[in-house]
Amino acid sequence: MSIDIKSEVTASAGTLDVCFTVNGIKHRLEVDPRMTLLDALRDVLGLTGTKKGCDQGQCGACTVLVGGRRMNSCLSFAVMHEGDEIRTIEGLASQSTLHPMQASFVKHDGLQCGYCTPGQICSAIGALDELNRGVPSHVSEDLNQIAPSDEEIRERMSGNICRCAAYPNIVAAIREVMERQP
């Protein structure tokens, strides 16, 4: 009986089913097609580490990793992510060990109020992966031989705004992880 009621509600409200994995856990959600991935993470799954800043793709606070690639979760509908592997700030640390990027942000004091930090960290992880994969940037002098530098970090992180302007420390935190990479 309860199942019947639920399906009736589903039909009248026009919701849709979607399955995706967040931080290694598979979820099946019933969502309004208008619900963004950001709202699904925060309001349905309770993963409030990912932040809503501008909700227009301009600030980067909502950055998550989808299939290992960084994207703005506010500019994507949850229903578009059927089968996707999503990683949020909550899924970076293993047990009690911080992800190297998290540890580096702590070490270099790469934040003040902290609101943009989950997005900064997810974006930085994505940015370094792009650097390793040879994705060029606007400041790459040679498109085929990219030299890691502070300038590269700043350019690649331009989609993440920090209103406290912790930028020098954010760059230092990312640089340390970048330099430790093989």
- Please select the residue that binds other proteins; options are 33, 109, 113, 165, rule is CB under 8 A: 33
Parallel, antiparallel, or unpaired: how do β-strands 69-72 and 63-66 relate? Answer: antiparallel
Nearest to 135 by CA among 84, 9, 144: 144
Determine, following the binding rule CB under 8 A, whether residue 44 of this chain makes contact with other proteins: no
User: For 110, how many CA atoms within 13 A lie in the half-sphere containing its CB?
Assistant: 25
Instruction: Give one DSSP letter per residue of 88-111, joined into a string.
Output: -GGGSSBTTBPPHHHHHHHHTT--
Determine, following the binding rule CB under 8 A, whether residue 43 of this chain makes contact with other proteins: no
- Please select the residue that binds other proteins; options are 156, 166, 170, 173, rule is CB under 8 A: 156
**Segment 104 to 143, residues that bind other proteins, using CB under 8 A:** 123, 126-127, 130, 133-138, 140, 143
Least spacing, CB of residue 141 vs other proteins, in Å: 11
Least spacing, CB of residue 96 vs other proteins, in Å: 29
Determine, following the binding rule CB under 8 A, whether residue 85 of this chain makes contact with other proteins: no
- DSSP label at 165? -
Place of tokens 């994995």: 21
Single-letter amino acid code for the residue at 2:
S
> Which positions lie near other proteins, rule CB under 8 A?
14, 16, 32-34, 36, 55-57, 60, 63, 69-72, 75-77, 79-80, 82, 123, 126-127, 130, 133-138, 140, 143-144, 154-160
